[in-house]
Amino acid sequence: MKAVNHVAISVVSVTLFFLLWQIAGERQWVDPLLLPPLSDLAETTVELLHDGYRQVPLWQHIAISLARALSAFAVAIACGIPLGLLMGLSEPIAAALNPFVQFLRPLPKIALIPLAVVWLGIGESSKFFLIFIATFLSVVVGAAAAVERVGGARIRVAQSLGASRRQIFWRVVLPETLPELFTSVRLSIGVGWTSLIAAELVAATSGLGWMVINASAYLRTDIVMIGILLLGAIGYMLDLAIVGLQKWLVPWAGKDA
């Protein structure tokens, strides 16, 4: 399918969805308390832009959440990719670390909140930790799996040509794993972004996740929906940024060798 057709279909489907949402709200097919119409959300958005939420400007809620998430993402990727590659290249290291990684990875990160508070307090460190650990574990698993899928024939050819282990890594293993690494990073950032709300449950007074949780306690469904739409839109833009970076740095991804 051509890119233009793909975008056109996406735009039409999203437009129809929002149109149906507005009609359902206006005609009260659904209780407005449960699903406010888009017109109400637009009015609430204007109020938030003007007055903020709980004396905090809306842009500041967005900036705080992004700062928390992006800092954790950067450290998780910087630590997780080398460790995952090392696990993929060394069976003893993989055997030693894999039980811990596989035990912690599926563990609901909200279950770690009490420990995060005890260990790190209620400041930014505990929030950073919850987002970091969710992202880090997924990056490690993805990087290790990417190395395991490297074609053994290519490595043997490089060895037969006299390439050293360092040369094999930089010229065979890394170029072949880069597309998989970007895919792992995309998935891991998605997991880390979803843990933002859990992180902002820890004594936060600002941030999009906190705004959603706090507004739900007062049955402000309009603010909850705005927060959810913002979280989804920002997550989507982060994903598009990673895809664009992948196309720039790994132009051979998806092409036959």
pLDDT tens digits for the chain (257 residues)?
Answer: 566 777 888 889 989 998 998 888 888 888 888 888 899 999 999 999 999 998 899 999 999 999 999 999 999 999 999 999 999 888 899 999 999 998 988 888 888 888 888 898 888 898 999 999 999 999 999 999 888 877 666 777 777 777 777 777 787 788 888 888 998 999 999 888 988 888 888 778 889 999 999 999 988 999 999 999 999 999 999 999 998 998 888 887 666 54
Q: What is the pTM of this model?
A: 0.85
Instruction: Please choose, from the candidates 84, 52, 36, 15, the residue with its C-alpha nearest in 3D space to the C-alpha of residue 207.
Output: 52
CA dihedral 8, 11, 13, 19 (to 10 degrees): -140
Coil vs helix vs strand at 56: strand
> Is domain 52-249 classified as CATH 2.60.120.10?
no
Beta-bridge partners for 53: 56
